[in-house]
Each structure stands twice: as C-alpha cells, then as structure tokens.
Amino acid sequence: MKICITIDIEYPDHPCCINNFTKWIEVLLKESISLTFFIEGRYAKANPWIADILKGQTIGNHGMFHVKHSYLTIQGIKESVSQGEKELIKLFGRNPKPLFRFPFGDFTTETLEILHQMGYKHCGWSYSVRDWKGKNTVDNIIRECQKLEYNTLLFHSWPDATEKLLIPLIYEFKRLKFEFVPMISSHMM
C-alpha cells in the first residue's frame, strides 16, 4: 500500500501551542520518507527558516492567505495563488507548480478552472486526520488507510495533536510496509 503524507503549513485557525511545527519536523525528516508540504505564502514570507528544514521535500502552494477561495473574486483568487507562488519561489528557489491545495478544501468548478488556467491542479486528500480536533488515534488512522491501496493523508503543522499522531503513525506505517510517496499527478484534480 502507498501512503502520501501531506502537511499544510499555515497560521493556526484554532488555539494551539506556538511553533508546534518546530517540535516535531526535524524528528520526522530524519525518517527519510517522502512528504508533501502545502505552504501558505504569508507563513513562508514570515518564516524563512523553513526553507532549510524542508530542503529536498515536495512543496505545494496553499495560497497567500488561508481563506476560502470560493469567497474571493476571480482577481482575488489569481492574486492569492500568484502571491503564494511568488513567496515560495523566493524562499525555495523552485516553483511549486502544479501542486496547489485550496485552504479548507474549499473550491468550486470556477475556482478549479482558474487554478488550471494558472498551471496548477488542486491536491485533495483521501483522509483528513482532523488533527485540529485532537480526537483521532493512530489505530483509527491505520484502520482507515488499510481500506485503500493509495492514501493521501491531510495533516496540519500547528495542532497540538499532530505531534502526538504523526511520529508514532510513521513508525507504524513503516512496520506495516507502507510505501511513502510524494503527491502524484494521478491524485490531483
């Protein structure tokens, strides 16, 4: 079975400990597995240290701000996508195209069309661990992932539960011989 672990890096939408991400990311990266990070442009701009930590990992655009793009005008969508792209190119020295994830998974036929015109594809997920709720378990996530041959998991960088779930989950996926893969085009919209 294949597993694509995606982590949205953005400013928190709920109360949490400051800089949770810094507590667990280096431990996770030492596991030498493929991860895909969708990074909010304003977070990248304010936190340039992430470029060194995420060197060599797959990155995607998460817009300039963590907003529902279906609420934006056509111009607003284009600006969010292009400004997020600009910040990621400036920080990482590479273009995140074609990987884009709409914040909140919020998109319409129109927002998808605009995204495609800009050279991107929306990267969804097959299972959200709902880490912001803090109620999921490693056993439950494993059970859900064993139902499909290919899984794309959605994590966030900021919830307190991410650290408690992600590292033990990686060890369990390895024990069960899951293959870690980056986001691939066949699982994009």
Cα first-last separation, the chain: 22
Return the DSSP state at 103. G
**Tens place of pLDDT per residue across the chain (189 aa):** 899 999 999 887 666 666 677 778 877 888 888 899 999 999 999 999 999 989 889 999 999 999 999 999 999 999 999 999 999 999 999 999 999 999 999 999 999 999 999 999 999 999 999 988 889 999 999 999 999 888 899 999 888 888 889 989 999 999 999 999 888 754 555
Spatial distance between the Cα atoms of 155 and 159, rounded to a whole number of angstroms: 9
* pTM > 0.85: yes or no: yes
Strands (E), 27-186: 35-39, 58-61, 99-100, 121-122, 127-128, 150-156, 179-180
Q: What is the C-alpha to C-alpha distance for residues 69 and 105, in angstroms, rounded to an integer? A: 9
Amino acid at 52: D
Q: Find where tokens 């996508």 sit.
A: 81
Are the C-beta atoms of 9 and 21 separated by less than 8 Å? yes
Q: Is 141 exposed, middle or buried (0-12, 13-18, 19+ CB in 10 A)?
A: buried
